[in-house]
Structure 1
Amino acid sequence: MTLPPLPSPGAAPLSVVLFHLAHDDTRDRVAIGDLLAALGDRALGALMFVFAAPNIFPVPPGVSTVLGAPLLFLSLQLMLGLRPWLPKVVAQRSIARDDLAALVRRLIPWLQKAERLLRPRWRFMVRPPLENLAGLTCLLLAVVLMLPVPLGNTLPALAIALMALGVLERDGLWMLAGWLGAAVATAVVSGVVWAMIQAGLALLARMT
């Protein structure tokens, strides 16, 4: 399949960029740096979404840890108000184009629906200091995402994905939705962890 070149960096919707990279038969693998270059200044929110969104769905054990590690780095940049940047060792990491295409087929229907609803509004929600606070929240959620906690993937990943889309399109309403998702995720994961602790203490009590 021969695809036309992408518009200038940052001009194309994320769904178009992902589709283009996933179906570009001039390459066998797609590096994280390719997405960074294609999104330009919008790459921070885009990459956060790309790494968070797969964890909304059931994934094999260990995948959340692999995808959560870059989220730590990206969330830290958002918290500190830094421009999107990745060290060479991270930017050169790549995924087979066929694997990316399978992931894109799963994500694009949902992403395209979201893009029809996204628009710049409530800009105070996506400016410092609230944007920096969102970065801190995403950083903490990324830590939870990497832990082997039942139900510890879906809700934190959903909250990060909502915030990432808010950052990407400067949409404060979606950022607010991400805050609400983060609150729900914190409550549910805290409840699960507390239940696990209680179960462990009860088991110890039986053994003594």
Structure 2
Amino acid sequence: MPRDQHAREPLSEILREISERAEPTVSVGEFMEMFGGRAMGALLLVFGIACTLPLPPGGTTIFGAPLVLLAPQLMIGSRAPWLPARMRAQSIATADLRRGLPRVLRWLRRIEAVSRPRLLFLFGAWGHRAVGLVCTILALVLILPIPLGNMLPAAAVSVLSLALVQRDGVLALFGYALAVLSGGVLVLAANLIARGLTQAFELLASA
């Protein structure tokens, strides 16, 4: 299918086509080619969604690493993503995509059905940099081995990146709200852990 036709397709449809490919695997580079001019936001979305899934320990570190490379590029104003050749060559089995994508595609289609370009002032040069800055901070959180600490940051990255693809300012505002919420939850969790450790040390000292 020509690239200009992909440019008019909803992102959910491109993901569906990728998952139904006859080839046993699809590389990150092929993802980038099919997403075309939307590759920056689309790749952030794909890796963000991957980090929301129930992954084994270290899983968010693996999928968060490309986010650490991509989000700063958005922050400095780049519209076309760059990834090292080794990362572009990495592939995922299409069978795995067929197992994991249906649930994602259902909610993605629902959002696409109601989403539209609005509040476009949020997507000027500084708007893209703001999204890139927030996603960079969230990506750094995602690569940390924090138990159950990936869901809200990954959801915020996913919503913000989808807002970029759709140029939907309402989605962007929701993504910023999720980012603030995830930051608050992480700070609260850190305080609770610190308090628990302090009490444990005090008990040991008084024993």
TM-score scaled by structure 2?
A: 0.92
Paired amino acid for 1:63: G
Alignment of 1:5-24 (within 5 A): 5=1, 8=4, 9-24=6-21
How far the C-alpha of 1:151 sits from its partner, in A, is 3.6
SS at match of 2:8: coil
Contact 1:76–1:135 at 8 Å: present in 2 too?
yes
Corresponding residue for 1:118? 115
Paired amino acid for 1:185: S
Match of 1:189 among 175, 186, 202: 186
Corresponding residue for 2:167? 170
TM superposition outliers: structure 1 runs of 4+ over 6 Å:
none
Corresponding residue for 1:66? 62
How far the C-alpha of 1:28 sits from its partner, in A, is 1.0
Relative to its length, the structure with more helix (as a share) is 2
Contact 1:150–1:192 at 8 Å: present in 2 too?
no
List per-residue Cα deviations over 1:115-160 (Å, max 9, x = no partner). Answer: 1122111111122212202111111111111222244111111111
Tell me, yes or no, if structure 1 residue 139 matches structure 2 residue 142: no
TM-score scaled by structure 1?
A: 0.92
Tell me, yes or no, if structure 1 residue 158 matches structure 2 residue 155: yes
Contact 1:6–1:17 at 8 Å: present in 2 too?
no
Q: Distance in 2 between matches of 1:182 and 1:28?
A: 36
Structure 2 unaligned regions, length at least 5: none
Contact 1:120–1:169 at 8 Å: present in 2 too?
yes
Stretch deviating more after TM superposition (149-158 or 15-24)? 149-158
Corresponding residue for 1:180? 177
Q: Distance in 2 between matches of 1:35 and 1:89?
A: 14
Contact 1:22–1:101 at 8 Å: present in 2 too?
yes
List per-residue Cα deviations over 1:170-198 (Å, max 9, x = no partner). Answer: 11111111101101010011100111111
Q: Distance in 1 between matches of 2:158 and 2:69?
A: 15
Paired amino acid for 2:34: A
Match of 1:28 among 24, 43, 66: 24
Structure 1 unaligned regions, length at least 5: none
Q: Distance in 2 between matches of 1:101 and 1:77?
A: 30
Provide the aligned length of Structure 1 versus Structure 2: 203
How far the C-alpha of 1:14 sits from its partner, in A, is 1.1
Contact 1:155–1:181 at 8 Å: present in 2 too?
yes
Match of 1:108 among 98, 105, 110: 105
Paired amino acid for 1:70: P
Paired amino acid for 2:76: L
Q: Distance in 2 between matches of 1:69 and 1:29?
A: 21
Tell me, yes or no, if structure 1 residue 79 matches structure 2 residue 78: no
